[in-house]
Amino acid sequence: MDPMSGPHLIRGSVALPEAELAWRFSRSSGPGGQHVNTSDSRVELSFDLVRTEALPEVWKRRALERLAGRLVDGVITVRAAEHRSQWRNREAAAVRLAALLAEATAPPPKPRRPTRIPRGINERRLREKKQRAETKRGRQGRDWG
């Protein structure tokens, strides 16, 4: 049985393709005491974005464009070393990769349609501004003594 807790969904029904994930384990720095010297708890998870068949073509193009700075030969790599157990680090790495891909494949936001300020609101603002100016003008030039 696979120790991973179910498929990690990217968005909708698209999940991280288990078969296309490459795992590497190495010794981790950080918490663990003597145990840390003997266990390979740091996890590196790689996913070949260029060759994958798991993502829809549009998503793939978007992700390649947005993650261009993080890719090495079309492969995205995520590291996790914050937990003592390798299994929890595997979970963390998979979750991180899924989140990264979800963000990178998201559709671009809809363009903002400029809205007009209603005339009444603008007029009220100007009226209040004048009123304020009057108040302040009334404060100057008098000898209050």
pLDDT score of 3 more than 60: no
Residue 76: other Cβ atoms inside 10 A: 20
Helix or strand (DSSP H, E) at 20 = none
pLDDT attached to residue 32 = 63
pLDDT attached to residue 133 = 94
pLDDT attached to residue 4 = 47
pLDDT attached to residue 131 = 96
* pLDDT tens sequence across 17-45: 777 788 888 876 666 666 666 677 788 88
* pLDDT tens sequence across 67-126: 888 877 878 888 888 887 888 888 888 888 888 888 888 888 899 999 998 999 999 999
pLDDT attached to residue 5 = 57
pLDDT attached to residue 134 = 92
Most confident of 60-64, 85-89, 135-139: 135-139
Q: What is the CA radius of gyration of the chain?
A: 28
Q: How far apart are CA 95 and CA 10, in angstroms?
A: 9
